[in-house]
Structure 1
Amino acid sequence: MSRSRALQYYVLTRLLLAPLMMWTIVTIVFLLLRATPGDPIDAVIGNRAPDSVKEAFRERLGLNKPLPLQYLSYLGDLLRLDLGSSITDQGRDVWEVIQQYFPATVEVAVCSMIVALTVGVGIGILSASRPGTAFDVGGRLFGIITYALPVFWAGMVLQLIFSVQLRWFPIGGRFPPSEVAPVGPTGLYLVDSLLSGNLAQFFTTLYYLTLPSLTLGILLSGIFERIVRVNLKQTLQADYVEAARARGIQEGKILISHALKNALIPVITIMGLTFASLLGGAVLTEVTFSWPGLANRLYEAIELRDYPTVQGIMVFFGTIVVVASIAIDIINALIDPRIRY
């Protein structure tokens, strides 16, 4: 089989598997919501409401139907790209809820990823290029500790240190409630403030972004540090690297031009999936820092048993992860022909 045919077959296979993955996600979310204790009707109108009122509300939401009929009705709505209406948010369309809260999640995800890549790749290179030294041991400890620390615990500790004790950063929120937030077409405060030319809003937004982005970014950086360190150490022992050393090429040039390029190939996969999961919502980070993102809204919807909102947000997050996974597989197949077979 030729390389181009093999690549086409690989891409087609991944595309055909995407609907199956989405159906699995949709089904699991639907069943888990119905299996968890608690009645969404009681969460909305209270458990002291008359039974007749509860039954009428349940009928309006379609929750009085048998579970298989609810499932089929839900799948039919999804095929029409209808995510339903929120039970608790004044009956707003779930798509409107996503449009309102998702930009905040994108903003903290992008900033966290920048921090994670900068710190993780930097420490990984430093550790791999100096094997057996204190830098190597320190890099390994950094990777293990940051990977193992719970996000919510680290977030609260940093809040106590930098927000409560030192008062360097705000303890939570996205923008001061006493000031006018940036308004623009994207919903991203950093972008909208730049588009409007308001640098004061830009730096205020960056100020509020700093602590949650550093918290999540540093904890994620351990993943990249470990991958870069392991792959770079293996690459530095390869024959073509030894041949480059024998030709008298400087060690720094060998590291950057020869070894690092190949060592970073696995990072592409992890980077894409990590970023997709970040967009899928760093729930604990957003809840800890009272960040008004979509993951925080998902947490509130779960507490209130808001079935349509939870299902809609989870389907949206699942779509992001599936699309990112397919895109990463295709990119890796283009970079490394061995993946196609």
Structure 2
Amino acid sequence: MSRARALQYYLLTRILLAPLMLWTIVSIIFLLLRATPGDPADAILGNRAPEAAKQALREQLGLSDPLPIQYITYLLQLLRLDLGTSITSRGLPVWDVIWDHFPATIELTFYGMLIAVVLGVSIGMFAASRPNTVFDAGGRLFGIITYSLPLFWMGMVFQLIFAVQLKWFPLGTRFPISTTPPPQITGLYTLDSLLTGHWSALFTAFHHLALPCLSLGLLLSGIFERIVRVNLKQTLRADYVEAARARGIPEGQILRNHALKNALIPVITVLGLTFAALLGGAVLTEVTFSWPGLGNRLYEAISLRDYPTVQGIMVFFGVIVVIASIAIDAVNAYIDPRIRY
């Protein structure tokens, strides 16, 4: 079987298995929500509400039905692409809740990943090109520290230093209440500001993005630094690199044109999966900085036991991760001819 046919067969298999993966994700989320302590009626109406009102709410939400009936009803809704209605958003469909908050999450994740990749790859390259030196040890220490620091702690430290004491940046939120945001085209404030020519709004958007993106990017950079440093050090010891040195090619050219391309292949895999996971996993950053993204909305929905919103957001993120994993396999096979499926 040729390489192209093998890749097509593999991708087709992954696509056919995607519904099974999504069904597993949906089932786990459904069961975990109902296995955790707490009653949505108590969370929404309060403990002092009359029992009759609580029972009426449970019947309205379908929570008084047996668990298998609830499960089958939810699966039938998903087959119609119906994520349900949010309990805590004044009856808005969950799809509307997702589209209202998702642009803020995309913006935070994109710039946070940009900082992480630039910083992590740069430090990893610098450390790997100087093996067994203080720079190599420093790169290793940087990767360990940034990988192990708690994200919420780093965010609060940045807030304390740069927002409270130095007053260089705002404590949180996406845009000041007293300022009108740019006209909405994509929902991304930085992009909308560029498209409409609102330069003051662009500066304000970046000003509010700085601290959450820096805290998120700095801690994620340790992952990329470690991957680049380890893979680049191995690549620099490969036979084709030694042959390039024997031909008298400058070390910088060997690093850029020969070693770095192969060392970055694992980075592409981690980059895609990390970006997809961060779209739903930047909850701590969004909560710490009061960022009105989908992660913060998910945290609120979990706190209030809003089953439809939690299930809808998690299913939405599950679809993104499944699609991203399939796309990354295809990109890796295209970049690296050695990959076989």
**TM beyond 0.5:** yes
Aligned to 1:228: 228
CA distance in 2, matches of 1:183, 1:33: 38
Aligned to 1:241: 241
CA distance in 1, matches of 2:10, 2:335: 14
Aligned to 1:276: 276
Aligned to 2:96: 96
Please give the root-mean-square deviation of Cα atoms over the aligned residues, in Å: 1.0
Q: CA deviation at 1:48?
A: 2.1
1:189 maps to amino acid: Y
- Secondary structure class of the residue paired with 1:161: helix
CA distance in 1, matches of 2:117, 2:48: 52
Q: CA deviation at 1:211?
A: 0.6
Aligned to 1:11: 11
Task: Please say if residues 280 and 320 of structure 1, whose CA atoms lie closer than 8 Å, have aligned partners that are also in contact.
Answer: no
Aligned to 2:84: 84
1:146 maps to amino acid: T
Q: CA deviation at 1:17?
A: 1.8
CA distance in 2, matches of 1:338, 1:140: 29
Aligned length: 341
CA distance in 2, matches of 1:44, 1:308: 13
1:285-296 equivalences in 2 (<5 Å): 285-296=285-296
Aligned to 1:136: 136
Q: CA deviation at 1:337?
A: 4.3
- Secondary structure class of the residue paired with 1:332: helix
Task: Please say if residues 15 and 326 of structure 1, whose CA atoms lie closer than 8 Å, have aligned partners that are also in contact.
Answer: yes
Aligned to 1:214: 214
CA distance in 1, matches of 2:292, 2:27: 28
The farther-off stretch of 276-285 and 301-310 is: 276-285
Task: Please say if residues 10 and 340 of structure 1, whose CA atoms lie closer than 8 Å, have aligned partners that are also in contact.
Answer: no
Q: TM-score, normalised by structure 2?
A: 0.98
| 1:118 lines up with 2:118 in the alignment | yes
Summarize deviations over 1:199-234 as a string: whole Å, max 9, x none. 000000000000100100010000000000011001
Q: CA deviation at 1:51?
A: 2.1
* Deviation >6 Å, runs of 4+: none
CA distance in 2, matches of 1:292, 1:231: 37
Task: Please say if residues 139 and 225 of structure 1, whose CA atoms lie closer than 8 Å, have aligned partners that are also in contact.
Answer: yes
Aligned to 2:264: 264
Task: Please say if residues 273 and 324 of structure 1, whose CA atoms lie closer than 8 Å, have aligned partners that are also in contact.
Answer: yes
Aligned to 1:59: 59
Aligned to 1:311: 311
The runs of 5 or more residues in structure 2 that have no matched partner are none
Aligned to 1:177: 177
Summarize deviations over 1:130-150 as a string: whole Å, max 9, x none. 001111010000000000001
Q: CA deviation at 1:183?
A: 2.5
Summarize deviations over 1:241-286 as a string: whole Å, max 9, x none. 1111111111110000000011101110000001101112300000
Percent identical pairs in the alignment equals: 72
CA distance in 2, matches of 1:89, 1:44: 11
Q: CA deviation at 1:338?
A: 4.5
Summarize deviations over 1:316-336 as a string: whole Å, max 9, x none. 111111110111012122233
CA distance in 2, matches of 1:176, 1:15: 43
Task: Please say if residues 105 and 281 of structure 1, whose CA atoms lie closer than 8 Å, have aligned partners that are also in contact.
Answer: no
- Secondary structure class of the residue paired with 1:280: helix
Q: CA deviation at 1:12?
A: 1.3
2:228 maps to amino acid: V
Summarize deviations over 1:139-163 as a string: whole Å, max 9, x none. 0000000000010011111111111
2:207 maps to amino acid: Y
CA distance in 1, matches of 2:265, 2:26: 32
Q: CA deviation at 1:79?
A: 0.6
Q: TM-score, normalised by structure 1?
A: 0.98
2:24 maps to amino acid: T
Task: Please say if residues 281 and 294 of structure 1, whose CA atoms lie closer than 8 Å, have aligned partners that are also in contact.
Answer: no
